[in-house]
Structure 1
């Protein structure tokens, strides 16, 4: 199956879930905590599938930045000759 087919299948299942929750709300009332939680969870699933559908529709969007390899070789010590040692003060002065 393609991604589009899978998303369509999920959407149909969510539609069935929504209808079932609506029937439960009619039978049990929509004021109970349990029914409200199920309705909220179903709505969140619907929103998540919509986001996933939007991402899959735009495959050119960057998914993850490329990794940068950092070398294990030590840096050239001459790069740090004009800097102070952090917290220790300048090299040619004494600490108080």
Structure 2
């Protein structure tokens, strides 16, 4: 089976689960902790299947960003005249 078929089958099963939970709520009431947990778990399953469906419909391979060529020529040293040597302190002072 394809992923689409499996997701459709899972959705049908979830629909049947929701019908069964609804029938149980009619018989047992909705106030009990157990019933609220079952309803919450069923809602989480519905959300998870929706996320799976979205992920399955998304393109499988993310688009690779365009690469930019980097020049091998050295930088202009005048760009660094106002900076300190990192980790060594300023030129006119001693490192601790």
Same fold (TM over 0.5): yes
1:12 aligns with 2:12: yes
The TM-score with structure 1 as length reference comes to: 0.65
Greater Rg, structure 1 or structure 2?
Answer: 2
Report the CA distance between 1:60 and its aligned residue.
Answer: 5.8
* Counterpart Cα distance in 2 of 1:52 and 1:13: 15
Instruction: Give the unaligned 5+ runs of structure 1.
Output: 67-79
The TM-score with structure 2 as length reference comes to: 0.65
Provide the aligned C-alpha RMSD in A: 3.2
Secondary structure of the structure 2 residue equivalent to 1:93: coil
Kept in 1, the 8 Å contact 2:21–2:39? The answer is yes
Q: Point out 4+ residue stretches in structure 1 off by more than 4 angstroms.
A: none
Secondary structure of the structure 1 residue equivalent to 2:59: coil
* Counterpart Cα distance in 2 of 1:91 and 1:21: 75
Instruction: Give the unaligned 5+ runs of structure 2.
Output: 66-79
Report 1:1-96 matches (<5 A). 1-59=1-59, 62=62, 83-86=84-87, 89-94=89-94
* Counterpart Cα distance in 2 of 1:61 and 1:21: 39
